[in-house]
Structure 1
Amino acid sequence: MDLTDVSLVALRVFREVAERGTFTAAASALGYTQSAVSRQIATLERAAGGRLLERRRDGVELTASGRVVLRTAAGILDQLDATARELAGLPAAGGTVRLGWFPSAGAILLPRAISAVRRTHPAVTVTTREGSTPALVRALRAGTIDLALIASAPPFRPPDAESPALELETLAERSLRLAVPASHPLAAYDSVEVADLHGQRWIAGPASSSELWLGVWPGLDERPLIAHTARDWLAKLHLVAAGAGITTIPASLTPAVPPGIKILPVTGGPQELRRTLLARMPGPLPEPTAVVAAALRTTAAELT
């Protein structure tokens, strides 16, 4: 095994593949061809003397050796990036916190927490990126973000089985709700039964591995009628306000709901709880990262 002559390009490509989860996504993010990405990974694996990635039908997964190389690669690349920032006269990386967040966290929790950091610690720079929970977990392990706001649903399993286990802190746990047009027959009630959801027209996000349709009530015992699909929460809510259908909504988004919508609890089935978690790699937190974590913790408590 001899990694002394491995290029920085290969390390960056490897980190990108580990974060994105597929060669195709990494190639797109880097502006490379997929074959170029494959060649860089093959070169790195030859130097490491073994497989760093397990190829699967749905993407790639780090091997034990891959996790070791990733930790080293992330440290080297972060140091080089910090040096480049310093030479360019930009704020030191030590004062910059990279925060990832799942879509619904961006409506209220994220902007309020960032506003609090700007008021109390103006020297701390926060950069953010939106992503799915699996993507954010990969980014944490790849070292491209420092903290992640991720979502969890029952039975609240760990977000991945990699080692070391991520440090997870529950910031909030609230019930899933239903958003219906104010003119909808269900809006006449203070709550609805699961049985009342049969035959409804749904506005949902694209299907995912965690929930078949994000926006359809979980466990609905019929094939849902999906009238509209949208990734953006604001788009879904405005479609509801326009009378185009109904959707589920995290309770934390209630203050951001536009006019023309009624938010209802759903009874008659298992309680559908959703947790907002703050995730990070284990180990001591640098002071700027601890400042951002504290702001997220305080903001989440104020919203409950």
Structure 2
Amino acid sequence: MDISSTGLRVLRQIAESGSFTAAAARLGYTQSAVSRQALSLERSAGATLFDRRPDGVRLTPAGLTLLRHARTMLDCLAAAEADLTGAVPRSTTVRLGLFLSAGAVVLPAALTRLAATDPQITVTTTEGTSPALVRALRAGSIDLAVLSSRPPHRPLDGESPRLHVETAVDTELALATASAGTYAGRTAVHVDELVDAAWIAAPSSHSEPLLGVWPGLPGRPRIAHRARDWLTKLHLVAGGFGVTTVPSRLAPVLPPGVSLLRVEGAPAELRRVLVARLPGRSSPAVTAVTRAITSSV
């Protein structure tokens, strides 16, 4: 089997991105170049590696097998390059992914704790939705992921073997509103009062749901603004331009002019914060970062 390192990198990026188009954008290639690499990989492997679907691309069992070996080979190539250039790592690096609201609360406390307990470990971070981070874990682009899960807390993906997962904390959702205005001075709001509210929501899809509108809200919500960035959403809330749903753990970092209210008349909405990694034995550095995260929350 004759497979180039470029082909292995393309395989890994397709697995992480979930589509040829997104992989091409991340790698700086054209989509046709990525498609040609994918076909070349399949010819060399003598097997179908990619399940091409209307909603994207998933790796077949054969593709997942090759990906597992690709991670090892690409790590070995990186180590060989470091040896040849004489680069001596001064620390151990852990690549950490976090879901979009976790960085503001989880990350600073965890890094502060880690600096005190394991200063030889360097953490690099990236943000993404939980499904995207699961793909990055499987692809070997990150070593550890802080993810969000909603009841009934099914497995993070359908691939085997399952990821190793630890529960860090459970948190309730709350409603972020302007401190002055319709809900001023209140600590709670009934869900029926939110039917006609103007919502500030993030774009979402079936595979990658994002926070915004209160789950199970009766009727069709009125979306006034769409934004992924939490700072944008919360400052729109502070300005009185709408309301949005946030994890209650964001309370310490809310900007001035934003209050959190309980939503009554509906079941509590719980979200679980998880720390996930690939199955198998964990490295000491990954274990230390996991411990810093779970301890800080």
TM-score (normalizing by structure 1): 0.94
Q: For residues 132 and 107 of structure 2, what CA distance do their matches in structure 1 show?
A: 18
Q: For residues 92 and 83 of structure 1, what CA distance do their matches in structure 2 show?
A: 13
Residues 1:295 and 2:292 aligned together: yes
Residues 1:77 and 2:67 aligned together: no
- What's the secondary structure of 2:213's corresponding residue? coil
Q: Show CA shifts across 1:91-130 (max 9, x none).
A: 5498110100111001010121112212221111111111
1:271 pairs, out of 268, 273, 291, with 268
Q: For residues 226 and 137 of structure 2, what CA distance do their matches in structure 1 show?
A: 29
Match for residue 99 of structure 1? 96
Match for residue 31 of structure 1? 28
1:175-254 matched pairs, under 5 angstroms: 175-209=172-206, 214-254=211-251
Aligned-pair distance for 1:155? 2.0
2:133 pairs, out of 128, 133, 136, with 136
**How many pairs were matched up?**
297
Aligned-pair distance for 1:190? 1.8
Which sections of structure 2, spanning at least 5 residues, go unmatched?
none
Relative distance call for 1:89 and 1:216 in structure 2 (3 A) is farther
TM-score (normalizing by structure 2): 0.96
Residues 1:284 and 2:287 aligned together: no
Preserved CA contact (<8 Å) 1:173 1:274: yes
Residues 1:52 and 2:40 aligned together: no
Q: For residues 91 and 5 of structure 2, what CA distance do their matches in structure 1 show?
A: 22
Aligned-pair distance for 1:276? 0.7
Aligned-pair distance for 1:88? 4.2
Aligned-pair distance for 1:54? 0.4
1:153 pairs, out of 140, 150, 155, with 150
Q: For residues 137 and 79 of structure 1, what CA distance do their matches in structure 2 show?
A: 23
Aligned-pair distance for 1:283? 0.9
Q: Show CA shifts across 1:202-244 (max 9, x none).
A: 1111122257663110111111111111111111111111111
Match for residue 8 of structure 1? 5
Aligned-pair distance for 1:86? 4.4
Aligned-pair distance for 1:32? 0.7
Relative distance call for 1:90 and 1:237 in structure 2 (3 A) is farther
RMSD: 1.6
Match for residue 67 of structure 1? 64
- What's the secondary structure of 1:185's corresponding residue? coil
Letter in 1 for 2:131: P
Identity of aligned residues (%): 53
Q: For residues 61 and 199 of structure 2, what CA distance do their matches in structure 1 show?
A: 43
Q: For residues 110 and 200 of structure 2, what CA distance do their matches in structure 1 show?
A: 29
Residues 1:164 and 2:161 aligned together: yes
Which sections of structure 1, spanning at least 5 residues, go unmatched?
none
